[in-house]
Amino acid sequence: MISAGDFRNGVTLEIDGQVVQILEFQHVKPGKGAAFVRTKLKNVINGGVVERTFRPTEKFPQARIERVDMQYLYSDGDLFYFMNVENYEQIALNEDTIGDALKFVKENEMVKVCSYNGSVFAVEAPLFVELEITDTEPGFKGDTAQGATKPATVETGATVQVPLFVNQGDVIKIDTRTGEYLSRV
């Protein structure tokens, strides 16, 4: 059990039958009245975000989220197949569960599959990936007044904004959380 006075960012709890993760918290001590904890909570199953306040003495059970390293094998229609590399067990997940998580992930790359009580609710891509650019317009010399960018399509089909000096065939490093170009490899 975790009391509201011990809340930290990233902690996963069960509150009112919902599994939530703490995005932000703030201990507030008003001049008059009792102290309280103001939080911003994200429902890990459906992604909804709510703000809520708690008394510092309230206690909640910590939710155990399993994160298993799995290899992304392939997609077939709206199903995506993953394999546990330790016991070679395969699972198929639908597009609703995955969302945009595989936007920057190639086949045969490792991802983390997150589950709660045996039901998978999310897939986490690696933080940084290296992908080849399959299509982009050539940059024009001298068109760099304010660090200009251009759209580029990478090998997974996603579109990324890249600097003008990046060309088709280059391999670039991308931050999967924001979709930003980081560097050429």
**Is the fold of 2-60 the same as that of 128-184?**
no
pLDDT in the model for residue 185? 82
At the topology level of CATH, where does 2-60 sit?
SH3 type barrels. (2.30.30)
Query: What are the tens digits of pLDDT across the range 67-117?
Result: 889 999 988 888 889 998 888 888 888 887 777 778 888 888 899 888 888
CATH number for the domain running over 65-124? 2.40.50.140
Topology, domain 128-184: OB fold (Dihydrolipoamide Acetyltransferase, E2P) (2.40.50)
Three-state DSSP at 183 gives strand
Q: Where are the domains of the chain?
A: 2-60, 65-124, 128-184
Average pLDDT over the chain, rounded to an integer: 85
What are the C-alpha distances in Å from 185 to residues 65, 122, 129, 174? Answer: 34, 29, 11, 10
Distance of CA 114 to the CA centre of its chain: 11
- Residue 43 confidence (pLDDT) above 60: yes
Rounded distance between C-alpha atoms, residue 161 and residue 182, angstroms:
10
* Angle of CA points 154, 159, 161, to nearest 5°: 105
∠ CA 51-53-59 to the nearest 5 degrees?
Answer: 120
pLDDT at 137: 85
Return d(Cα 14, Cα 141) in angstroms, integer.
56
Contacts of 50 (CB under 8 A, 6+ apart): 40, 41, 43
